[in-house]
Each structure stands twice: as C-alpha cells, then as structure tokens.
Amino acid sequence: MNSKKIILFASGSGSNFKKICEYFKNDNTVSIELLISNNPKAKALQIAESFNIKTLVIDKQSFYDSDKALINVLKINPSLIVLAGFLWKIPSAFIAKFANKIINIHPALLPKFGGKGMYGMHVHNAVIINKEIESGITIHYVNENYDEGSIIFQKKIKILKSDDSLEISKRILKLEHEFFPIIIQKVLNNG
C-alpha cells in the first residue's frame, strides 16, 4: 500500500510540527516527506532532524520569484501540504497546483482575527482588547487570501474574566496540539 505523503511548512518553534510527527510516527499509511522553513534558526528544523525528515530552508526571493520550493514539492507529489506555523503567504503557483491540498491552522475562530499580521500573540491580544467571550482554533484550506479558505474544523474555548492573552495562548496551543494531527488524518482519509 502506498503511503500518503505530507509536506509541512513551519517558521518557528515547531511545537505543532512535533505533535504531527509524533502522531504519525508509527503510521505506515502516512509519510512526512519534507519540512520547508523560511527560518534557518527555526527549532522545527532540529525536530525534523530528530525524526529523520528531510528539510529545505528557503529565502523569500526563491520562494516567490523562482520555482525552487515548488519544484521540490512537485518531486514529492504530496497528498497534503500542512502549514504548521508558517508565516509567509503561499504563492499563487502553489495554490493553483495544489488546490484543496493545502491546510493551515489559525489560533482564533475565523473569520474573526484573521488576515495579514494576525498570528500568535497578535491574535490573542486582539481577542482580549475586543472583550471576546470565546476563542479557539480554526483549521482551514489555504487560498490566495490570508485565512479566507474554506473552514474544515473549529474548536472553541470560553474566555474567562481572569484570562490574559498569555493564558489564552496556552489554552489555544493545547487545542492545536490535540486536534491538528487528528484533522490532518481525516483530511487525508477523505482526500
């Protein structure tokens, strides 16, 4: 049986990437083929190394102006591309080649608090400033616009009066770690 191939993109600490690697480690139906990062100092690269996953570090020019990253991805022909804390907008060439095969996780209940610059603590601070009564995670398909692709899954938490943005970020990250690998598996099984 051929395994379903995944390529992941990450820019930072790689905590979601690590949870995804752990989740699929003993699953011979899924193979994590490559981690692409725009940050040569990303901890995600060390995590990939520990799981014997190939890595590719890209710079902005080669990502947007050439086909270097796209060619590497096309060689693998992934079943799914997963953005796990990747901060750059995906080029339209990628989106055209892999329509409905690129997913992202966002630390808020889209369509609220999405768009350019809305990541990490920026999102959680906005939730506090706007006195929201709930937040959560959204897993969605990627299209040409930041955080506007079709929603696959959302999970909510209540915002407590005692919550600050740091506390919300911790609770949201727990949701991400719990649900992102499961939803990736569901998308793969339905794809």
Average pLDDT of the residues of the chain: 93
Residue spans of the domains in the chain: they are 4-109+138-155+172-190
Is 177 catalytic? The answer is no
Q: How many CA atoms lie less than 13 Å away from 100 in the CB half-sphere?
A: 6
User: Of 180, 186, 96, which Cα lies nearest the Cα of 142?
Assistant: 96
Class of domain 4-109+138-155+172-190: alpha beta
pLDDT band (50, 70, 90) for residue 191: low
Contacts of 85 (CB under 8 A, 6+ apart): 10, 11, 12, 13, 14, 15, 16, 17, 44, 105
Q: pLDDT tens for residues 83-92?
A: 999 988 898 8
* List 106, 122, 124, 140, catalytic entry: 106
